[in-house]
């Protein structure tokens, strides 16, 4: 009996593979299909091992638009600016439910079916809380909290620290307090980092040594449940925590499930910001000219625009940080994001339609997946000369507008579904960079970095390239005397 069942299961798989094979063979010759010897799996293994390099090879061989088979999914990849913008703005292409995929990776299972859609229930809440107007009242104390987390380091003559911990922990703590209140387990940074380290393998289903992250998750979830339960009866009016939990509670979501959704959201809130600030300093430390220019701008701004550090901590609002006093800083942050941020948002065709790519029409069938290859335009020398180099003053930034001189810049996504936390993220990045540059001299342990630094990680990544831990030497600058 078991042999018969196994035979039938094998027969079903073979039939499905053959059906998919002939479907691909009979599809139009344009766009071209990337061949693969593996049925159903297709090019998934090559893609997951290094998405950037694999898509770059495909673009070079097949042009700006082509088809991939990724784990049973027919994916049309677009690599031109106009097509990418059209894909993410089209009403015929719906975004995938990424929250459920991240939930599975972080929590270890898919969300329980409670009859509500995160995109329809939580996203409108995020639009409200993360709007620039709403955040204006929230972020004012964030700079002071970040400073409070690093102040003890200014009292030391010199110390060695993990660069990631030094930059990311103060932001993790401060943002959690601002958005979720004092009851949130904001001292869970170490467990969060352990989870973040394995998220790419978890998300893509690759083998990894999971025991440390399982233990970290087993500590995080009970603390999250405790927070949710207390918030249901608390008068703590945190900006996001209360609304988030009450919204789920009205939909009949249990405290345990609400905690899992909240922890999943927390990963998305912190992971990309931490990756950006980490790589920002890696690039600055590898370019003494850029480091000196950005630091000089920070020093001038604090002295002439704010009077001193205390004035900055009091008046570090959106208007001041978005102004011309921090043009180079903002440009350098945007350049780091152009070089490192990998936006892999899939869209699903909700109907048959034709999408224009240059002078050709691309036939898209209902149910097919669409992917904009953002790296293709970010690394195009005709768009960004010397595109693979870190050019800290490549972008201009003025009066609160992300100005790219008409050039494509998709690091905060594109179309109708821009990153909802983009205003908060830019604020966090600027505050962290300003305080770190103003208060400390930072050098990699072992002396000046070699010309090839920062190194490029080849490990699978999710959002930002991953690297081994970098240890740096902190030396408080003369400006910290009397703080």
Domain ranges of the chain: 79-480
Tokens for 168, please give them.
């990311």
| CA Rg value for the chain | 24
The answer to whether 108 and 89 are in contact (CB under 8 A) is no
Which among 384, 399, 348 has a CA at the least distance from the CA of 369? Answer: 348
pLDDT tens, position by position, 312-364: 999 999 989 988 899 999 999 999 999 987 766 788 888 898 888 877 888 88
**15: pLDDT strictly greater than 80:** no
Instruction: Quickly state the pLDDT bin for 289 (edges 50, 70, 90).
Output: very high
Which among 199, 258, 271, 267 has a CA at the least distance from the CA of 227? Answer: 258
Which among 461, 463, 377, 371 has a CA at the least distance from the CA of 412? Answer: 463
Q: Other C-beta atoms within 10 Å of 393: how many?
A: 14
Annotated ligand binding at 419? The verdict is yes
CATH 1.10.630.10 is right for the domain spanning 79-480 = yes
**264: pLDDT strictly greater than 60:** yes
14 sits in which H/E element:
helix 2-25
SS3 per residue for 74-93: EEEEECCHHHHHHHHHCCCE
Task: Provide the pairing of β-strand 369-372 with 73-78.
Answer: parallel
pTM for this model (two decimals):
0.88
DSSP code of 115? S
pLDDT tens, position by position, 21-56: 444 443 457 789 999 888 888 998 888 777 888 888
Quick one: CA dihedral 402, 358, 385, 77, positive or negative?
positive
**405: pLDDT strictly greater than 90:** no
Instruction: Quickly state the pLDDT bin for 413 (edges 50, 70, 90).
Output: confident
């Amino acid at each position: 009996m078991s042999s018969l069942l196994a035979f039938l299961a094998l027969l079903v798989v073979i039939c499905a593979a053959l059906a998919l094979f002939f479907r691909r063979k009979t599809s139009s010759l344009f766009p071209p299909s990337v061949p693969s010897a593996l049925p159903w799996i297709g090019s998934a293994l090559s893609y997951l091992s290094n998405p950037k390099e694999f898509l770059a090879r495909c673009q070079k061989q097949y042009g700006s638009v082509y088809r991939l088979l990724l784990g049973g999914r027919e994916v049309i990849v677009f690599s031109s600016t106009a097509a990418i913008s059209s894909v993410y703005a089209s009403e015929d292409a719906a975004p995938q439910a990424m929250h459920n995929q991240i939930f599975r990776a972080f929590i270890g299972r898919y969300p329980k079916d409670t009859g509500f859609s995160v995109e329809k229930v939580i996203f409108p809440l995020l639009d409200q809380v993360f709007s620039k107007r709403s955040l204006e009242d929230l972020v004012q104390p964030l700079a002071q909290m970040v400073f409070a987390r690093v102040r003890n380091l200014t009292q030391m003559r010199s110390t060695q620290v993990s660069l990631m911990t030094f930059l990311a922990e103060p932001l993790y703590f401060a943002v959690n307090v601002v958005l979720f209140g004092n009851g949130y387990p904001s001292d869970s940074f170490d467990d969060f980092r352990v989870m973040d380290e394995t998220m790419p393998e978890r998300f893509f289903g690759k083998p990894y040594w999971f025991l440390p992250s399982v233990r970290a998750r087993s500590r995080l979830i009970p603390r999250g449940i405790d927070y949710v339960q207390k918030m249901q009866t608390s008068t703590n009016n945190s900006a996001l925590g209360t609304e988030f939990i009450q919204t789920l509670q009205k939909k009949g979501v249990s405290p345990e499930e609400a905690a899992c959704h909240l922890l999943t959201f927390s990963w998305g809130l912190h992971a990309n910001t931490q990756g950006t600030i980490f790589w920002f300093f890696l690039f600055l430390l590898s370019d003494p000219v850029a480091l000196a220019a950005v630091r000089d701008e920070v020093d001038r701004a604090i002295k002439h625009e704010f009077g001193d550090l205390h004035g900055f901590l009091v008046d570090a609002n959106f208007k001041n940080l978005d102004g011309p006093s921090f043009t180079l800083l903002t440009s350098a942050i945007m350049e780091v994001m152009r070089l490192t941020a990998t936006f892999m948002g899939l869209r699903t065709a909700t109907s048959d339609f034709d999408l224009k790519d240059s002078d050709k029409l691309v036939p898209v069938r209902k149910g097919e997946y669409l992917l904009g290859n953002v790296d293709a335009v970010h690394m195009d020398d005709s768009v960004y000369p010397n595109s693979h180099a870190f050019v800290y003053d490549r972008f201009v930034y003025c009066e609160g507008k992300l100005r790219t001189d008409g050039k494509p810049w998709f690091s905060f996504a594109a179309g109708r579904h821009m990153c909802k936390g983009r205003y908060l993220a830019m604020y966090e990045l600027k505050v962290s960079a300003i305080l770190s540059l103003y208060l400390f001299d930072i050098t990699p342990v072992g002396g000046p970095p070699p010309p090839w630094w920062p190194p490029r990680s080849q490990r699978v990544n999710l959002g930002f390239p991953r690297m081994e831990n970098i240890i740096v030497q902190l030396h408080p600058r003369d400006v910290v005397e009397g703080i």
